[in-house]
Structure 1
C-alpha cells in the first residue's frame, strides 16, 4: 500500500488538475483558471516538482493532489483516495492514517444548513444590498425566497451547531466569521438545504465572488467549503445549467424551471447526481458568451466534457444561444430571444 509520499511520486499532479483546468506552462510551474471561484484571470498555480497547487485568490495555503480532488469533487478524503485509485489502477493508495494537524472534518449537511439558516436570520439584508439585487432583475419575492443576507465579518452572532462549518473559525472561546463583506448567497442542494455560502464581495479587488471557507491549518474549527453546485428548484421537466449561484437564481426567477449554477465551468461533476434525482425530460446548457476568445476556448473544453458526460448518462441535451448580453441572467432580464439547438425552441 502506497503512502502519501508515494502518491506524489506516482501521480503527476498536473495531469490530474489538467483534467479539470486547462493549464499553461510557465517555466517550472503551470497556471490556469481556478475552478473554485469566478476566475477571470488565471490564479491557480500548480508546482509539479513539489506536487502542490494553490489558488492565489481563494486558497490560503498550498495543498496536494488529494486536497484538490476533495475540493473539486466536494467529497471526503477517503472518497478522493478511492477516486484516485480508480483513475490510476497501477497504484494502491493508502488512506491518511490521521487528519492533518488542526484539520476539522466538514460538518454534516444538516448541521451546516441549521447553522447557516440561523446565521442568515441574524444578519438580515441591508437596503443597499437589496437595491443591488433588484438591479440584477430580482423581485422582492425572489429575493426573500432565495434567502440572501448581508455578510458581517468578525464576531459570529451565533454558535455553529458543530465544528467544521465553512466560514466559521474559533479564536479562544469565541467563534468568528471569516470572509469578505458582501451579499451572502445561500448555495442549496437538490433538497433545498444550504451547503455553503457564496459571497458577492463589496470589495472585488480579490475577486468579485468568493466562498465563506475556513480550511485548516490556517483556521481552527472551520473547514473548506468545496465548490458545490447550487440548485434552484422550479418546474423540473427542464433543467437549465449555467455558471454561478446568483445567475442561477436570477434565471430561475425568469424561467420557472429548475436551474443549476455550477461554481465554475470545470466544477460540474456533481451535476450528474443532481440530474439523477430531478429526472428532467430535457437539459439545456446556458454558459456565458465570453468575449475573450482564449477564455471562451477554455470554457468550451469544460462544457464539451460536461456535454459528453450528460449525453453518456442518457439525458436529452440542448445548448442555449442568444445575442447581446454575456450571461443567461442578463439576457433574460433584457428580454433577449433565447433559442436552443437549431430545431429546439425559443423563449422571449
Structure 2
C-alpha cells in the first residue's frame, strides 16, 4: 500500500464510519482518489452472463448506493461495478448509528436498511454512467411496501435502459422479513416477475440473484432449483451474514449484517455447494471476505466466474483493486490457466 493511501485510510478511520463513507465518495467525485484505469490481460478477460469484462474483479453493491461516483470508480481498475440497492421510493433506512468497523476482525457490521434516494433520483446518474465497463444496479424493496416482490420489477422497469445488469437482492438482513422472499415459491414468483419486466425492455439485460450465506442445505437446494428453472443469468454468493462466530472486536454484538474477512470461508463454502447443486450451469459471482489476489483466486477455483469486494477497501484502500487484478493474473499464469473460465471450479471439491 502506498504511503499516501495509508495516510488517507488513517485519516478516514478517525471519523465515524458512516461519515467516513460519505467523505470517501466526495473524495472520489473530486478526483482525489487516483486509479490505474482498466487492468486487463488475455488471461483476465472474462465473459460473464453475456457481459465482456476486462477482468473479473467487481465492486459489490453498498459502496456507491446512489450511483454518485461511478465515473471515478470506473478508473480504479474494476472489471464491473454494481450500484445500489435502490428502491422505488426514497427511504432513510434505519436509525444511526448503523455502520460499525470491526478493526480486529477486518470486518464491518451494517444495518442500513436500504437507505437510498429512490429510483427517480438515481436514474439520471445511471444514464450518465461510464460506458467503458459494465455497470449494474442492485434492486431493493421499500420497507413499507405492500408489494415488495413488485418493487424489484418496478425499479428494473424504471432504470433498466441505463443498465448492463440488475441484481435481485432478497438477502439483506436489515429489512424485516425480506429474506423470507428466498423461500422457493416466493422466490420463483418474484424472479418470474422481474424477468418478465426485463424481457420487455428495449435492450434486455442479465438478471442476477444475490443470496444469503446463512441458508441451510434444503434452502440452498431450493435456491439452486429456482435459479435453474427461472434461468437467472447468474447468482451472487453471498450477502452479509448474521453469524458472529470468532469475532474479537468491541462492536461484535451489534445487530446487522457482518461483512469482511470473517465471511470468507462461510461464503466460499456456499458458493462451492451452489456450483455443485447447479452442476455449474449458472454462472456464480463470489463475494464475501475477498481481500487479496489469493482469496479472489480461491473463489474462482471454488466455482466463481467473477468476484466482488467492498469491505476490504475500508482497510486496504482503493489500490487493492489493481493489486488483486494483477496478482490474479500471476496466479492464473503460475498454474497454467489461459483464462479465468479454465480455472473456474477446478478446486470446488476442496470446499465441500
TM-score (norm 1): 0.29
Bigger CA radius of gyration: 1
Q: Structure with the greater relative contact order (CA < 8 A, sep ≥ 6): 1 or 2?
A: 2
Q: Which has the higher helix share?
A: 2
